[in-house]
Amino acid sequence: MAKFIILLSLVGLYFGFLAFAFEPSPLQDFCVADPSSSAKVNGLACKSPALVEANDFSFSGLHLPGNTSNPNGSKVTPVSVAQVPGLNTLGISMVRIDYVPWGINPPHTHPRATEILTVIEGSLQVGFVTSNPGNSLVTKTLQKGDVFVFPVGLIHFQRNMGTGNAVAIAGLSSQNPGVITIANAVFGSNPNLSSDILAKAFQVDKSVVDQLQAKF
């Protein structure tokens, strides 16, 4: 009996953790963000329901390709709470991603969201790396209509494998998934991380670190 109770409380703890690790369930129909409010909450304060309108739940332009003229050869167009205030407290958002041939969405993580992506044009190599100590690469080439999942927090990427442009649409399990692009965060922080630290961490000469820091 005692064992059973311990087991039950462990299960309770486990599910308690799960509940805390993700965005809480809404306590009302909606809480349309009021970005001008001075109230500080976890998310954004709600505007008065009397002032809420259909446009608070709407976004236009996702049929338009993003501008891919950049060194990545890709562009992410986000539709999260910053674009759609009605997403506040709802734990969901989306993106459109455009890629030129061989364009990449470089290795990055979303600290607050799992992502589910579908290819609507072209062909993409996608993948993620599992956490320590395995660091296994889980990768696959997707064709139009294929779907792939990037679990919350894991480093992932996409690369256009086709001869034409590629387009993907993805859903994310946060109103504000956040993004940490690995190269930018490590070599382009402000101020710089010490090149001593990075030279040791990457086991390269400091001149290599200086070169990378100058790029980001």
Ligand X SMILES: *[C@@H]1O[C@H](CO)[C@@H](O)[C@H](O)[C@H]1NC(C)=O
Q: CA torsion 187→191→196→200, rounded to 10°?
A: -40
Least distance to ligand X, CB of residue 67, Å: 4
CB 75, min distance to ligand X, A: 8
Cβ-count burial of 174 within 10 angstroms (0-12 exposed, 13-18 middle, 19+ buried)?
buried
Beta-bridge mates of residue 137: 129
Which of 145, 191 has the CB closer to ligand X? 191
Length of the chain: 216
C-alpha distance across the termini of the chain, in Å = 59
The nearer residue to ligand X, 43 or 171, going by C-beta atoms, is 171
Tell me whether residue 125 or residue 184 sits nearer to ligand X (CB atom): 184
Q: Does 108 carry a binding-site annotation?
A: yes
Nearer to ligand X, 57 or 165 (CB): 165
Is 23 one of the annotated binding-site residues? no
**Omega within 30 of 0 (cis) for the link into 151:** no
Q: Interface with ligand X by CB under 6 A: which residues? A: 67, 69-72, 76, 106, 108, 181, 184, 190-192, 210, 213-214
Which secondary structure element, helix H or strand E, spans residue 182, and what is its range?
Answer: helix 182-187
Q: Report, in Å, the least distance between residue 108 CB and ligand X.
A: 6
Shortest Å distance, C-beta 36 to ligand X: 28
How far is Cα 165 from Cα 188, in angstroms, rounded to an integer? Answer: 29
Binding residues for Mn(2+): 108, 110, 115, 156
